[in-house]
Amino acid sequence: METRSELRVSIDVGCYHHSVAVGFPNGMLLEEFELAHGQEGFDRFFERIDDFQQCHGGEVSVAMEGYNGWARPLDTLVRARGYRLFNINNLKLARFKEIFPAAAKTDRIDARKGLELFQLREHFPMARGVLQEIQAVPLENNKLKRLTRRRRALVDERSRVLARLQVDLQAVCPGLLAITKEADNLWFLNLLTHGDDLQKLANARKDDSEDSRHWP
């Protein structure tokens, strides 16, 4: 059987199932099938791609939308296999479809569209913008990304809690909130937690708290 230089795979990503189209650089469609989003479905997917590769030879290139989104963890598994991974940029794809209209949207048609983009990117700069190869990133970069995202989530959560605190204080005892411009000051938080009743704060003294060193 004739050996091709590359096996191209396009995946239309869904929430629970994905549509897969497999073809060759010359535009020939080899097979289409559905892929369940789960370990069993992933195993079946790689088994079929391995069978195609053993039969036809060549490296494997995979195009999918939603890199680092709904495609997870399939995108990570694809890269772990050593396949080339391409992300389909949805915003640029929508613009591309305005210029090059296609048939009505279905999962199967969208999967085939990825195979078309592989061909078109060789000739049209706009198509290259739609189909972008994901380059290998050092492990440290991925760890830093997770940490920065976690930090941003904690900062957002802190802001929401502080906003609720200031609203409640303004409603219950506006005079207390007026003594500080920032309700998240450490000394002010120590003052609020000095007792279980805000009315008791009227008789509180600086040396009554173990945390009095933080009071102004």
Last residue of a domain, one of 110, 133, 156: 133
**pTM of the complete model beyond 0.85:** no
Are residue 122 and residue 194 in the same domain, yes or no? no
Whether 169 is in a domain gets the answer yes
Instruction: Give the number of domains in the chain.
Output: 2
The pLDDT tens digits for 86-141 are 988 776 666 666 655 655 455 567 788 888 888 887 777 666 778 788 877 677 88
pLDDT at 3: 44
Last residue of a domain, one of 102, 133, 164: 133
pLDDT score of 208 more than 80: no
Helix, strand, coil shares of the chain as percentages rounded to 5?
Answer: 50, 15, 30
Whether 19 is in a domain gets the answer yes
Strand-pair partners of 212:
none
Whether 1 is in a domain gets the answer no
List the domain range (segments joined by +) for residue 98.
Answer: 6-133
Are residue 23 and residue 76 in the same domain, yes or no? yes
Cis preceding-peptide flag for 125 (omega within 30 of 0):
no
Are residue 121 and residue 173 in the same domain, yes or no? no
Coil, strand or helix at 214: helix
Q: Residue 26: give its domain's CATH number.
A: 3.30.420.10
Are residue 10 and residue 98 in the same domain, yes or no? yes
pLDDT at 93: 67
Nearest to 191 by CA among 165, 161, 153, 156: 165
